[in-house]
Amino acid sequence: MNYLGDKMAMELIFTILLVVAAIIIAYILYKLLKTAKKIAVNIIAGFLVLIIFNYLIVPFTSLTHTVPLNLITLIVTALTGVFGALVLIILSVFGILF
């Protein structure tokens, strides 16, 4: 083979490697964004659970303890989502947390 043939073969190999790398990167980004979407939905649902509990359930029932929307409760709900919001509600109802 001559120099031109070697150069074209190297360019072809390089192009194939770039395409494979792009496909792998696209797949990884797809998985990350799919997971991020699930996490975001869980966090928003957690905040909605707290708001519904504080403004719709407590005023119309005999419950007297609300969950205050402060920095601590917002961080717990942001990190744990619906599960954390439910734990905060249970702790608040029993008077353990606040």
1-15, 50-64, 65-79: range with lowest mean pLDDT: 1-15
For residue 54, give the nearest of 42, 41, 43, 69 by alpha carbon: 69
pLDDT(5) > 80: no
Owner of token pair 């609300």: 66
**Angle, nearest 10°, between helix axes 3-52 and 71-80?**
130
Query: Where exactly are the structural domains of the chain?
Result: 3-93
67-98 per-position pLDDT tens digit:
888 888 888 888 888 999 999 999 888 888 76
- For position 4, what pLDDT does the model report? 61
- For position 56, what pLDDT does the model report? 87
31-56 per-position pLDDT tens digit:
888 888 888 888 899 999 999 998 88
